[in-house]
Amino acid sequence: MSYDPNNIFAKILRGEAPAIKLYEDEQTLAMMDIMPQSPGHVLILTKEPAETLFEMTPEGAAACIRTTQKLAHAVREALKPEGVFIGQFNGAAAGQTVPHVHFHIIPRDHGQTLKMHAREMAERPELERIARQIRAALA
């Protein structure tokens, strides 16, 4: 595959587009999903220029899993959901909407209906409020 360096996540990583950041290290960035399927939906991005998991280095994939686990703990502590869904899509046919590797952390409660993936923008003040809770749990 040919990586598109102009996708929105690449722009966020370069500081050319806004994001509500939660955590960042040398290999990954965690941020709020602006079109969450449930309150507290978090995305973990690799800093590698990779469209799917299949193009990542083993080191980059391991870094994403470490950050995903770290943020999943923080989401669970901050928001107290009954469960946490963790997912990762590869290719449009699988549901990937941004051609850059990323992992989803989606808090869930029994009987909760999730919003459709990548369909409805959330209000920024609400995302910022939840982000503060998650950041506090990371500290």
Q: Which of 100, 102, 104, 117 is flagged as catalytic?
A: 102
Give the separation between CA 50 and CA 7, rounded to whole angstroms.
Answer: 11
Amino acid at 21: K
Other beta carbons less than 10 A from residue 89's beta carbon = 18
Distances (CA, A) of 98 to 11, 81, 94, 113, 125: 12, 26, 12, 23, 24
Residue 100 among the catalytic residues: no
Q: Are 63 and 8 in contact (CB under 8 A)?
A: no
Contact of 126 with 32, CB cutoff 8 Å: no
Indicate which residues carry an active-site annotation.
102
